[in-house]
Chains A and B, each alone.
Chain A
Amino acid sequence: MKQITVLSGKGGTGKTTITASFAVLGKNAVVADCDVDAPDLHLLLHPRIVNTQEFKGSKLAVIDESKCVKCGLCREKCRFDAITESFTVDSFSCEGCGVCKIVCPADVITLTERISGYAYISKTKYGFMAHAMLSPGEANSGKLVTLVRQSAQLLAEKENSDFIIIDGPPGIGCPVIASVTGVDAGLVVTEPTMSGIHDLKRTLQLLKHFNVPPFVCVNMYDINVDNTKKIESFCKENGIAIAGKIPFNPKVTEAMVDGKTIMEYSPKSAVAKEIENLYISMLEKQFFK
């Protein structure tokens, strides 16, 4: 069983469009939406939830106001500025470290569990899907990503799947790291813009850092052909395979509005054909030579 993460650095380059299409093409795959704070894959794959699990991320400090002596030690020692002037805990700033609890001379602070989101196992038309929803504004998205990936692995083992296809979050921070560690390939979806190129380079560095074999796909490559050439020569110099080039097509948005993948909405379009080629060159040829 092989794991592939679709990622991008820059947001909005087409990760979810491609992951959803791979889910349709993959005959025997489990998909995992690891963009847990803004998950969108379900809007195209319409999963039916079969199992929901509570996610307890970080803890939250609670001060018993009736017993607080207002000495201010907690506020002085808290490095997250989470204790307000009136000695309440700002839940958006608290990282649940517990320093306030150990410094409080009156012993009136407790650490409480908070439900930071939910992890789901679902069924789609094309197979199983693991996904999650981080409660808005919560921390610890990396831990929730790890939970989603564990569910996906269990499903894949049970179903004897060939692949796990992971839709990653944008950026290069903790949830992205949690989405790429230990996978067999990272497909970086980029666009031919200055920001796209900048973010592509950082994402490739990230994959290198974690020893993940990189592949690149240029989405909407015809928006700026010069920049696409720059991406191609950069990849060539660095020995990285361009696994696909997908043209711009308003049908991708139309498909999204219709709640469908491009493979279902317009299977004969150039976009669908290119995604299919990408799938074949990356997954089938790469791993099942």
Chain B
Amino acid sequence: MISIASGKGGTGKTSVAVNMALSIRNVQILDCDVEEPNAHLLLHPKISRIGPVYMHVPFVNEKLCDHCGKCSSFCQYNAIFVSPEKVLIFPELCHSCGGCTLVCPKKAITEDKHKIGTLKLAFVGDLELVYGELEVGEPMAVPVIREVKRQIDKNRNVILDSPPGTSCPVIETVKGSDFCILVTEPTPFGLHDLKIAVQVLEDMKIPLGVVVNRAGIGDKKVHKYCKEMDIPILLKIPYQRRIAELYSKGVPFSLEMQEWKGKFQMLFDEVRRLAGK
């Protein structure tokens, strides 16, 4: 199980995930960027199944409720407000911990389903793509990511395409992976965000390596940093107008530039070697 993350957005995570997947066999890609999933835009897959993703939010039976306020004082996320007359629920703040149902002395709280996203299963030939889409306006990406990761097929080479950043959706994505590829660009922004991502992965004890995308722009500081930190640079993808143009049209560049297939195969083999699998 290999995750592909980055810190900074727009560095080429999805490109690396998709091109690597197309260069090896028996693959399942999970697009965990449920806020802005993009892998399907490069893969053009046939969708085989669509299903809703729900979160459990409290539902209060007003007939049983005596407005004691225990649920409200228990809730760490301020998702329940109790006044002497009424109970107000804020589903978008709820984390679905279920605590309010446990603390209610009158057993007045049950859980209701609240749709927060959609799960899609799709295929391109033998390659399986699983992706989620967070409903617009819903804040919680993590439960949708969890649902995507529940579809993991352990008999396949699993590639997880992470959202950008270093906060909870990224943690949820990379958790449990055998190796993480960090895609960066050789610029001050790329380096700054790479350092934060490296720190997160080291805390999580996930082995990592770097792919430098748009190599040739910017400066040499990413290389210098990787050398100092003893982080392997697994692949350099040069800045080429052709690659950028293919991407803009939704074409994975390894399909049009065959020499890259071998390079992505080597990347995969190297990752397996480093992960000890």
Contacts and interface: CB of A to CB of B under 8 A. Distances in A.
Contact of A170 (B9, B41, B96, B166): B9
A171 B36 contact: yes
B97 interface: yes
A198 B164 contact: no
B3 interface: no
B89 to A, nearest CB: 16
Contacts of A196: 248
B74 A195 contact: no
B140 A79 contact: no
B200 to A, nearest CB: 4
A115 interface: no
Contacts of B97: 79-80, 95, 97-99
A240 interface: no
Q: B interface, how many residues as a size bin?
A: 35 or more
A122 interface: no
Contact of B169 (A8, A43, A173, A210): A173
A26 interface: no
B98 A177 contact: no
Contact of B95 (A95, A171, A173, A193): A95
B137 interface: yes
B200 A137 contact: yes
A197 B42 CA distance: 13
A82 to B, nearest CB: 10
A125 to B, nearest CB: 18
Contacts of B42: 194
Interface in A187-234: 191-196, 198-199, 202, 205-206, 209-210, 223-224, 227
A173 B134 contact: yes
Interface of B: 6-11, 14, 33, 35-36, 38, 41-42, 74, 76-77, 95-99, 102-103, 134, 136-141, 163-171, 175, 185, 187-189, 192-193, 196-197, 199-200, 203-204, 217-219, 244-245, 247-250
The 6 A-B pairs with the shortest beta carbon distances in the complex, nearest first, are A11-B9, A12-B10, A97-B97, A174-B139, A171-B35, A194-B250
